[in-house]
Chains A and B, each alone.
Chain A
């Protein structure tokens, strides 16, 4: 398994500002991802965080709005830029450990973001 620590757990931010969310894993993992869970809705994949290179974004998500870094195999950050109330969501980090052969994803506890 993998123990995932996300920071902050929640935040209230002013519109127009940016927030960086951190994801730390207790072991080296092959893949890291960022998901968004909008209020009352399901989870949507934002992007795959690639170590040492640019993240791979899903349709509808762009790097300028959600820049992602992954400097090593255990750490990634997601920044929500120029925030608006529509960005109010739970943002979750997800990882796939090597031992799970791409068959199981683990999730952090999420960052609950409210934009006012």
Chain B
């Protein structure tokens, strides 16, 4: 069975500083990997996804993530954050056969941007 661990439940960062949100997954087979963002009182929005190919994935709002198979990680990064990036971020994994049908989510990381 697949599982996802988001190592930090909360990450406080100053505005314009870089940030990395960590995600590790457990799976014995190949995977699809996703990062979603949930702004306050809203649903989830896809930031980026890794399906195959290049291990560096660029997403919306200046975010990017790197798939590292040997370390089973998919950390999310942004070089300079803004107040508007304050939100909950979820890492998710699925099996390529099932695709986006059965997403297994991590516990979430609450990113707080301080002025």
Q: Which residues of A contact B (CB under 8 A)?
A: 4, 6, 31, 33, 41-45, 48, 92, 96, 100-110, 112
Q: Say how far A59's CB is from chain B's closest CB, in angstroms.
A: 11
Chain A residues with Cβ below 8 Å from B90 are 42-43
Hey, which bits of chain B sit against chain A, CB under 8 A? 32, 36, 41-46, 49, 51, 90, 98-103, 105-108
Partner of A42 from the list B42, B43, B46, B108 (CB cut-off 8 Å) is B108
A46 to chain B, nearest CB (A): 12
B43 near A109 (CB under 8 angstroms)?
A: yes
For B36, give the chain A residue with the smallest CB separation: A107
Supply 20 further A-B pairs (C-beta < 8 A) apart from A41-B108, A96-B99, A103-B51.
A4-B43, A41-B107, A42-B90, A42-B106, A43-B44, A43-B103, A48-B101, A100-B100, A102-B101, A103-B49, A103-B100, A104-B100, A105-B46, A105-B100, A105-B101, A105-B103, A107-B36, A107-B43, A109-B43, A110-B43
